[in-house]
Structure 1
Amino acid sequence: MTPAVEFRGVSVRFGRTTALSPLDLTVARGETLAMLGPSGSGKSTALKALAGFVVPSTGRVLLDGEDVTALPPHRRGLGVVVQSYALFPHMRVEANVAFGLKARKTPRAETAGRVAEALELVGMGKYARRYPRELSGGQQQRVALARALAIRPRVLLLDEPLSALDAALREDMVAELLRLRAELPDTTLIYVTHDQGEALALADRIAVMRDSKLVELGPSRELYQRPSTEFTASFLGASNLIPVELIQADGTRVRLGDRELAADPSGTFRAGQPVALGVRPHRVGITAADAPGALPAVLRGVQWRGTGFRLDLEFAHDGNEVRAEVPDIDGLPNVGQRVGVSIPDGCPLVGVG
């Protein structure tokens, strides 16, 4: 089947600045792809090249097999939602949602029905006559979604759509987007974000971006559980990267302090290559300092996070730091106290440096 979206060697340069290194990427019809990375990683530039807002320096952009690299944005048939909502303040909600349809010269009778349909889809049907200033941030974002959906796009692009909302509203909107995914199974969704929680919740696959390049691409759960790069392990899920020594060349056994651990290697390694275990903070166990099999450490910091504590620890054997997340329990050790740290078998092993 022809992919919904293809980037073929697409790069974007502004003078001497490379905003996007040559990108090769395909997205299937009906798939949700998250492009995840920090600011300046190239993810929004890739989206703008797809939408037609920037002209690629090299390469081609295809939609359903058609080369659209030279087409203006309004002829690509894409729905776009950005973090600023971009609603017209002097227009009522219904007029904002109808804007793209009118630009496409959709008949008035059909426009009214599609506006009502799109507003109902995002739960904003009763707000059609209001102005944007009369809506909350979350409601304005729903209107922006309705405007994008009203044209019935084959591909829906969302560029940091929730970053302007508070935490509670973001959670509500993630739930809303999941519902929309279920109701629009044939719509391809490309979601740009720096929030790994949003990416993991929404995406079938995640494209991890860094320094204008695609670092890693794969199914969401696979990337979370078995990242193959140091950057993905630390950025997607905030893993501790704990330096270890290879015992077996295939990476299945490593040494940490005086302990041997089973590891889950993500690739092949050469003798003497620096490697690290990617250990999620919630998998780091805290025990008594003299507990059998525990690695001695010193507690350097404690933060209460509502549902539990974040502990910053320092290994006694090499001075490296490790972070743990533990439940809200009584009897927490004091800062400066010696404790034992347990690391489970089976953590992913990645090359570093």
Structure 2
Amino acid sequence: MTLATLATLASPAVELRDVSVHYGQTRALAGLDLSVARGQTLALLGPSGSGKSTALKVLAGFVRPTSGRVLLDGVDITGLPPARRGLGVVVQSYALFPHLRVADNVAFGLRARRRPRSEVRERTREALELVGMADYARRFPRELSGGQQQRVAIARALAIRPPVLLLDEPLSALDAALREDMVAELLRLRAELPDTTLVYVTHDQGEALALADHIAVMRDARLVETGPCERLYRHPEHPFTARFLGAANLIPVEVLGPAGEGAVTVRLGPRELTATTAAAAARADGGEAVLGVRPHHLAVHAPGADLVPATLKGVQWRGSGYRLDLELTLGGRSCPVRADVPDDHGLPGIGEPVGVSIPDGCPLVPAEAG
């Protein structure tokens, strides 16, 4: 094996280096650095307008960056048009050709590359079998359900055997039940294509956690935080990550000091708690910090001496339980939070006082400026 081959294998599958995109005075991406390893599934997660779809379009070649570089296997492809990048792309609207049958839609990219007829036939058959659509090869897109059209769009992208598959919110147009089915299908597909790199854009944290190995959280055209899914969920280092990935309540606390490796002691109302943190020393210097407490970790009781006092402000029934809007009282100031409690929970009336308990082990993050 040559040194050049070894260098290629060691490089990321795809990489964005200091990529910015501006449309006049509008900033769509600002200095984005991102790399995805071979065989990895990365979810670009963020609210609408965060820049995640723009980042995917830069990778695909649909958008030319204002500055920065795009690399594929260590080779600069910034100036290459989409057709010459060899990447598979699945967009939200499916973009199937309505006048072509399913098999012809799937074969389109292969024919554009002037592959032999026998190869086109074989790869089309393989791709349709892979997504469970072989029996629909002669149908037109209008004769398919939304989930079936999505499978065909994925088969078309896979037929060219791309090293990287880009998916831009592919499930957002489907209803909830179909989304669940398609998540299961994508998980199966990922297991069958272990060497294919996936970059998956979504605003749905459930999809991101189910499908991805790594998550890149974006906001306001910038990368907030990136890392393995479990680490970002359990030990976020940025308050926006804690809030967006798991809908954590951000509750101000007083940091008292270290409590062992990766932990600190904090005071919250009348109680002292142990919180987890990726940088315990940095959190023990008296700086402002917040505890990321997810709604299902909050327990609501009758008022008590060892509980954080709160007032019930609103109730939403959600079938399996209730979502409670509460207002904590912390040292003379209030803090709105949400709690998820079981359906059999005895609820006080709106406006009545309650007591809230919070477990040890919640992540501590620095308070966000402003």
Q: TM-score, normalised by structure 1?
A: 0.96
* Offset at residue 272 of structure 1 (A): 4.6
Q: Verify: 1:315 aligned to 2:323, yes or no.
A: no
Unaligned runs of 5+ residues in structure 1 are none
Q: Identify the residue that residue 301 of structure 1 maps to in structure 2.
A: 314
Match of 1:75 among 84, 100, 107: 84
SS at match of 1:237: coil
Q: Identify the residue that residue 6 of structure 2 maps to in structure 1.
A: none
The question of whether the paired residues in 1 share the 8 Å contact of 2:256 and 2:284 is answered with: no
Distance in structure 1 (CA, Å) of the matches to 2:288 and 2:209: 29
Which residue type is aligned with residue 148 of structure 1? Answer: A
SS at match of 2:184: helix
Match of 1:27 among 22, 26, 36: 36
Q: Identify the residue that residue 289 of structure 2 maps to in structure 1.
A: 275
* Offset at residue 337 of structure 1 (A): 2.4
Distance in structure 2 (CA, Å) of the matches to 1:184 and 1:305: 38
Distance in structure 1 (CA, Å) of the matches to 2:319 and 2:72: 46
SS at match of 2:257: coil
The question of whether the paired residues in 1 share the 8 Å contact of 2:264 and 2:284 is answered with: no
Q: Identify the residue that residue 7 of structure 2 maps to in structure 1.
A: none
Which residue type is aligned with residue 221 of structure 2? Answer: S
Q: Identify the residue that residue 155 of structure 2 maps to in structure 1.
A: 146
Which residue type is aligned with residue 273 of structure 1? Answer: G
Following superposition of structure 1 onto structure 2, how do residues 118-157 of structure 1 map, counting pairs within 5 Å? 118-157=127-166
Match of 2:264 among 252, 258, 278: 252
Q: Which runs of 4+ in 1 moved over 3 A?
A: 269-272
Match of 2:69 among 50, 57, 60: 60
* Offset at residue 294 of structure 1 (A): 1.5
Following superposition of structure 1 onto structure 2, how do residues 1-353 of structure 1 map, counting pairs within 5 Å? 1-248=10-257, 252-267=264-279, 268-269=282-283, 271-290=285-304, 293-317=306-330, 318-352=333-367, 353=369
Instruction: Tell me whether 215-224 or 299-308 shows the greater mean CA deviation.
Output: 299-308
Distance in structure 1 (CA, Å) of the matches to 2:102 and 2:92: 17
Distance in structure 2 (CA, Å) of the matches to 1:70 and 1:97: 27
Instruction: Tell me whether 218-227 or 5-14 shows the greater mean CA deviation.
Output: 5-14
SS at match of 2:21: strand
The question of whether the paired residues in 1 share the 8 Å contact of 2:17 and 2:34 is answered with: yes
Cα RMSD over matched residues?
1.4
* Offset at residue 55 of structure 1 (A): 0.8
Which residue type is aligned with residue 329 of structure 1? Answer: D
Count of residues paired in the alignment: 352
Distance in structure 2 (CA, Å) of the matches to 1:315 and 1:154: 51
* % identity of equivalent residues: 70
Distance in structure 2 (CA, Å) of the matches to 1:327 and 1:214: 36
* Offset at residue 288 of structure 1 (A): 2.1
* Offset at residue 89 of structure 1 (A): 0.7
* Offset at residue 109 of structure 1 (A): 1.3
Unaligned runs of 5+ residues in structure 2 are 1-9
